[in-house]
Chain A
Amino acid sequence: MLFSRLRGPSLAVLTCALGALSLSACATTGDAAPKTETASASSSRDRTMAPGLDGWANQDPYPSTYRGLPRQNMAIVGATVLTGAGQKIEGGVVVVTDGRIAAVGGADTPVPAGHQVVDARGRFVTPGIIDIHSHLGVYPSPGVQGMSDGNEATNPNTAQVWSEHSIWPQDPGFNTARAGGVTTMQILPGSANLFGGRGVTLRNVPSVTMQGMKFPNAPYGLKMACGENPSRVYGSRNQSPATGMGNVAGYRAGFIAARDYKAKWDKWREDGQGTPPTRNLQLETLAGVLDGSILIQNHCYRADEMAVMLDVAKEFGYKVTTFHHAVEAYKIAPLLAREGVCAAMWTGWWGFKMEALDGIEENAALTDAPEGSCAVIHSDDAELIQRLNQEAAAALSAGRRAGMNISEEHAISWITLNAAKSIGIDKETGSLESGKRADVVIWSADPFSIYARADQVFIDGGLAFDRQNPAFQPVSDFELGQPGFGQAAAGVAQGAR
């Protein structure tokens, strides 16, 4: 079984995942590895195809050029540290060496020589916030016609589109999100379609190109959508899907075709007989779901629909990684935990449509309760992404109102470590643990307070935002020369808008 899978199309990705069990190892080799035809070269037959015709020969055609911001070794000392992995350390020390977390501990943790000491006494430190559901760059500000690139609403199955090809890196929303402590985002296509296309995970650094933000070696996600949106969009055009059952027929048809496509490629790779299959971007992405290299990120509100989607996954032999907008996750919390599926939720949004009617503030707390759960809080919004800590605070408060005993050091995982898990980057970031990327936020106060502000935000150990220093408050090209440009409002510079 393992052997046959390894001979399948996604060899490179699987080798990485199985061999190293760590994205960091993949990152070191992946960054430097040649991008073409190495996987199946052992065969005697030459199966090299013309450039671009073999999707598995070059799995990374738009490679990350992310290099990280200038950084120095440092030790953040004296803060209350919420590690993201469940610990709370008073007067803690976070040692950052070469852009990675080198040590996290109490006040007695030694600070290595040559490390700059950052005094964070009276403040709080958390991992960088991760938003797994953002449309920054694809639905940027200004949200005007001509910039609305998030929904390829031309067919219920557009698995062939990649959100990274819509991203406008000059979206000012990246900067405001960073000022809210967000260091990593998954940018997804919209929810008009059953299969909306691939999402991409970004480092939240200013960049002229999308590739300069791309999180090295993060797995792709496939955006799927349940419910009202696809059936309304296509039903109103007298097309399928017009109903929930039409939605499910559409998913099944997509995966039937993908199974067939994958089998043809597997066979050709195995024996090299006959004409190679013709590359199909739509089916290639779905086949990537079937071989486990692309993670399902499924917009799905209702409990009953999530349960159906879990069965669709079983029918075709793939896994749902995360349900998004899982407004009714709390109704099936034990099921989600048993299946090992993450649920990404809001705290405050409810009632704007029928499938959001039963949204409750306690959703994260209740979904989080069973053993093995994976509760995540996400934004899907350019304003909310700036305040995911407050959305988590409101969820925590609702849980406590219900008499649940939930600590802040646990609740912070909803926007850090669990979020990282839900998009497959938890070996790399999401918690302050040795070896991980030094994505760190120093907060002015307890991040569960409404008054807390991100004072400094570090990405891979590089200072990406400093609330007190305009030199570290990036302003996008779009903002130059606009009304109010360069003016302080209430004494605050534009870069901290």
Chain B
Amino acid sequence: MPIKQGGFSRKSEASSKVPNSSMADIAFLLLVFFMVTTVFQKDRQRPIVWPEAEATMKIDEKLKNILNIWVDRDGSIFINDRPYEMVEVATIIGPLYVASDRALVISIRADREVTYLTIDLLQQQLVAAGVVRVVFATMLEQRMTRERR
């Protein structure tokens, strides 16, 4: 019977195995890191009071193809967290609409107390930019609240 390694075998004190008891900890560390650094939406919610509508429907469009235009109670307009003047809207939206291959959907997120004049001017700007699909963002209204009104 042949003797292994010519009979010379060295006893090593160091373990030849990679320690894997802390692997889960490393995985969780990575997980938590990515959770913290991930940003979903590019614009932040503005403090508006939503109008309510019973016919509220989900928009069947990819999230990246939806652009939010926020209209505050005082009529100021925000796109991607930056304030804009009404007359600038068409020049801002136009290139974005072309870049999106005409798939862009504009979600008008206006406060319920904004005067209609503001909304009409905004619509005119959108028409000038060539946008066709527009959504008036609303909250779903329940039958109960409607009947109480």
Do A and B form a real pair? no
